[in-house]
Amino acid sequence: MSPVAKAVPNVSRQLAKFTAEFEWNDVPEQVRHEAKRSLLNYFATALSACYDPTIEKALRVYGAFSNSQQATIIGRAERMDVLTAAALNTIGANVFDFDDTHIPTIIHPTAPVASPVFAWAQARAVTGAEALLSFIVGAEVECRIGNGVSPGHYARGWHITSTCGVFGAACASARLLGLTEQQSLWALGSASVQAGGLVESLGTMAKSVSMGNAARNGMIAALLAQQNFDGPKAPIEGVRGFMPVTCDAPDFDAVVSDLGRRWELLQNTYKPYPCGVVLNPVIDACLDIASDAQFVQRSVQNISRIELVGRPLLKQRTDRPGIRTGRESQVSAQHAVPVSLVRGRAGLAEFSDEAVADPALQALGQKVCFIEDSAYGVEAATVRVHWADGFVLSRTVEVPQGSTGKPLTDAQIEEKLRALCSYGKSGVQVEPLIDAVWSLDRARDAGALMALVSGKA
């Protein structure tokens, strides 16, 4: 007798009901606090990149078609319509790969959801509590959908932040627009047909296109639903819906189990380094080795090889020799390892075009090799530095900085905001911004916060 097929839960309808009906008073204080940490990190990363060439070029193209000045471009004097501003701010927050990371999906949840929230807040009357609730709801939806398609979705080449981010943007927008459960379901439907983004684009400016689209398209989906623009009954779990189409083994229960009681935002993490999250334990190990007196006394020219031991995922994501740009370096172990060892730092300057062009780092990067070991945890790695005379220095990191087991403190996130704002040279004053984020739930006008991140003309 064949086994009885397991019934597929009505995922889309449950997410729509959650979006339309969940109340602020039911959000635990711990989740509210984590939402504020996520927003501090969001403004930090967006302010760091506000004059990056990616933003400059995107602004020239997107801005040519914007005839409104509704919303702020973070760190800049320009204002655009809400859709364009949300797209550009999402791009900016993700440019340096310094944004937050949800474990285990590796979604960067805040940028594609917070950008629409604050764009709407400048165009409508939105309290701080309403803004926070819409952000929390949107982030929960995108991360839960991500849980349901992981790990096969990313492995097939989908850029999961972009593909799931559009659902988060749609639900956050639906909440702020006051959509009903049925309209929220339709918003999910229009979001589902606009989901896109490919891992092949990582390390290039093209990645930013799908990131910006996630925010913008989610907002459009909600606006269409507001006009009763209908959609499929099961856009997420339907036979040809988002989950079955984009992964081999969709886990529908992972999306809806304990919805409104177990919070994915509590699995959010914040990077200490501007690179792919799988490099965090590697960099931790390298920086520890770089501070070792025995390393300092020895010449790096005599290093014969550098072994990286970790799960196969480490090699899959970061084996990128011969990189040419700072953007490519953010996902290259062949750069992250030598720059951390030689310079003893791993900040934005170490993942720049200038650092990539350093011939000494290029030469040392050629000595990096991978040893795949499935026994390692996803956040663990060992670095072994071998010298020609047989001497070896080794470090193993089981729990890297910024992980769920060793999270950045509130003070460290505040300091990250100060450092990244200074790097971006926007002229924004950080301390009032920090105070405004921590007190956002008490603000009568959430949009007023954006005046604090507007750059000087």
For 336-348, what is each residue's pLDDT tens digit? 999 999 999 999 9
Is the confidence at residue 2, as pLDDT, over 80? no
5 located within any domain: no
What is the rounded distance in angstroms from the CA atom of residue 239 to the CA atom of residue 58?
Answer: 37
pLDDT digit string (tens) for 225-258? 999 999 999 999 999 999 999 999 999 999 999 9
- Show the beta-strand stretches assigned E in 96-248: 101-102
**Helix, strand, coil percent content, the chain, rounded in steps of 5:** 55, 10, 35
Average pLDDT for 414-443: 97
Residue 128 lies in a domain: yes
Q: Do residues 254 and 378 share a domain?
A: no
Of 311-325, 382-396, 412-426, 438-452, least confident by mean pLDDT is 311-325
My answer on whether 332 and 371 are in the same domain is yes
pLDDT at residue 5, rounded to an integer: 56
In a domain, residue 38? The reply is: yes
Are the CB atoms for 105 and 150 separated by under 8 Å? yes
What is the pLDDT of the chain when averaged over all its residues? 96
Residue 1 confidence class, pLDDT cut points 50, 70, 90 = very low
User: DSSP letter string over 332-397?
Assistant: -HHHHHHHHHHHS--SGGGGSHHHHT-HHHHHHHTTEEEEE-TTS-TT-EEEEEEETTS-EEEEEE
The rounded percent of the chain whose pLDDT value lies above 90 is 93
pLDDT at 276: 85
pLDDT in the model for residue 256? 98
Asked if residue 147 and residue 32 are part of one domain, the reply reads: yes
97 compared with 443, residue with greater pLDDT: 443
Same domain, 183 and 318: no
**What amino acid is encoded at 207 in this protein?**
K
In 122-137, which positions are buried (b, 16+ CB within 10 angstroms) versus exposed (e)? beeebbbbbbbbbbbb
Residue 416's domain comprises: 11-270+407-453
Examine the domain organization and report whether 132 and 266 are in the same domain: yes
What would the pLDDT profile of 145-196 be if each residue is shown by its tens digit?
Answer: 999 999 999 989 999 999 999 999 999 999 999 999 999 999 999 999 999 9
350-377 mean pLDDT: 96
Share of the chain above pLDDT 70, in %: 99
Shared-domain flag, residues 113 and 239: yes
